[in-house]
């Protein structure tokens, strides 16, 4: 490999001082337009690359934001990252994206990598098994802002951006009850974090309000992947008394479960109605279309990045709202129309 071209190489070729070349590359008005053009043309000819890292290091900023998410193969996370990138790029920031793969160990590695990369701030959605944020203290102790979104952790110096997962879980189970379901199963995620625990607690409260029992045989805890949805369907098929409604804490798992049940002749929603969560585009592809909870990923990403940049520009200002709540909406589709199906009969 050839050696890295420096401003000294450009200065030698043009018989100029390194300081003049540096100012010329930055478009400084003290350098004439003709000299600036000679400097830029020569830099391009020699293959010079501006060392933004070294420059920003002197300014104690890298103009880089770190993002940690559980998985990248999620429509919600893709939307959230798109919102973050839109805001960050407009403000002149780059982003570095990493995924924890739902592992606290991997999440810790990502934290260390981004800390050593000297990112100016972090946007984080926690892994499902994260029970402590002690690893983030290295950022917090240095006044490097950390904003949690979707999967969050309460910390006085870290704002959270969420939806009301408890209320959404309640509405999903209540919807199934209103459609005629009386034996309602829940397929949820790891209960260590707040998100899936709150969705489960909302489901439980809805059942209690309607005089139903959330028995253990009606609960499956999993990683909520498409494959684990298939496994959940196998469990359902083996049950002597099957559920007549299922609330699944994400759409991928719900779709995997529905497809496997349909493969074995189970009629949806006539025999088992379904409600998912996230409003993934696949919810409109599966037949019947999946009833699901929608919440704004891109808006959450935009809000998270905007808040982070605000904290960066007012680094000593702790006057922020601890929790920002975004709206959600139940998308009523065919997979839960059990009552209508019964009426036709």
Identical fold, 62-162+296-326 and 165-295+330-344: yes
Q: Tell whether pTM > 0.85.
A: no
Confidence (pLDDT) at 213: 86
Q: DSSP for 193-233?
A: SHHHHHHHHHHHHHHHHTT----GGGEEE----HHHHHHHH
Confidence (pLDDT) at 265: 96
Under a CB-based contact definition with an 8 Å cutoff, are residues 308 and 176 in contact?
Answer: no
If you ran DSSP here, which 8-state letter would residue 155 be given?
A: B
How far apart (Å, rounded) are the C-alpha atoms in residues 68 and 305?
A: 13
Tokens of 134: 């002690």
Residues 6+ apart with CB under 8 A from 201: 166, 169
Confidence (pLDDT) at 187: 98
Q: For residue range 141-154, what is the model confidence (pLDDT) as tens digits?
A: 888 999 999 999 99
Domain spans of the chain, in order of start: 7-50, 62-162+296-326, 165-295+330-344
Fold of 7-50: 434 Repressor (Amino-terminal Domain) (1.10.260)
The parts of the chain modelled with pLDDT lower than 70 are: 1-2, 50-60, 315-319, 339-345
- Per-residue three-class SS string for 5-37: CCHHHHHHHHCCCHHHHHHHHCCCCCCCHHHHH
Under a CB-based contact definition with an 8 Å cutoff, are residues 249 and 199 in contact?
Answer: yes
Confidence (pLDDT) at 49: 74
Q: Which residue has the tokens 């009833």?
A: 291
How far apart (Å, rounded) are the C-alpha atoms in residues 111 and 155?
A: 17
Cβ count near 309 (within 10 Å)? 21
The CATH class of 62-162+296-326 is alpha beta
- What residues pair up with 130 in beta bridges, in sequence order? none
Residues 6+ apart with CB under 8 A from 147: 121, 122, 123, 124, 158, 159, 160, 161, 304, 307, 308, 311
Nearest residue to 205 via CA among 164, 149, 257: 164
Specify the CATH number of the domain 165-295+330-344.
3.40.50.2300
H-state helical runs in the chain:
7-14, 18-25, 33-46, 52-58, 75-90, 104-116, 137-140, 165-178, 194-209, 226-237, 251-263, 297-313, 338-344
Nearest residue to 251 via CA among 216, 217, 292, 195: 292
Nearest residue to 195 via CA among 278, 114, 115: 278
Tokens of 259: 């497809």
How far apart (Å, rounded) are the C-alpha atoms in residues 89 and 73?
A: 22
């Amino acid at each position: 490999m050839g050696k890295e071209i420096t401003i000294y190489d450009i200065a030698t070729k043009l018989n100029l001082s390194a300081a003049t070349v540096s100012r010329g590359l930055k478009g400084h008005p003290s350098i004439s337009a003709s000299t600036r053009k000679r400097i830029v043309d020569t830099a391009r000819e020699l293959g010079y690359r501006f060392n933004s890292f070294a420059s920003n290091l002197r300014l104690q900023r890298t103009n880089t934001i770190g993002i940690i998410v559980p998985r990248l193969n999620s429509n919600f996370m893709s939307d959230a990252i798109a919102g973050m990138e839109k805001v960050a790029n407009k403000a002149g920031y780059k982003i570095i994206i990493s995924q924890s793969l739902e592992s606290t160990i991997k999440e810790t590695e990502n934290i260390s990598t981004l800390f050593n990369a000297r990112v100016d701030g972090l946007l984080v959605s926690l892994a499902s098994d994260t029970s402590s944020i002690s690893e983030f203290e290295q950022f917090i102790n240095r006044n490097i802002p950390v904003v949690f979104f979707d999967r969050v952790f309460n910390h006085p110096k870290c704002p959270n951006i969420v939806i009301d997962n408890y209320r959404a879980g309640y509405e999903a189970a209540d919807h199934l009850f209103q459609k005629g379901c009386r034996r309602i199963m829940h397929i949820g995620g790891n209960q260590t974090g707040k998100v899936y625990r709150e969705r489960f607690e909302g489901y439980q409260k809805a059942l209690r309000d309607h005089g139903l029992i959330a028995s253990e045989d009606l609960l499956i805890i999993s990683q909520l992947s498409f494959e684990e949805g298939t496994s959940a369907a196998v469990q359902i098929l083996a049950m002597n008394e099957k559920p007549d409604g299922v609330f699944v804490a994400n759409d991928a798992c719900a779709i995997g479960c529905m497809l496997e049940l349909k493969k074995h002749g189970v009629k949806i929603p006539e025999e088992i109605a379904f409600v998912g969560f996230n409003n993934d585009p696949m919810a409109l592809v599966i037949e019947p279309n999946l009833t699901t909870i929608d919440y704004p990923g891109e808006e959450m990403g935009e809000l998270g990045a905007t808040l982070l940049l605000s904290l960066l520009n007012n680094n000593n200002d702790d006057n922020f709202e601890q929790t920002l709540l975004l709206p959600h909406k139940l998308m009523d589709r065919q997979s839960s129309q059990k009552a209508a199906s019964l009426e036709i009969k």
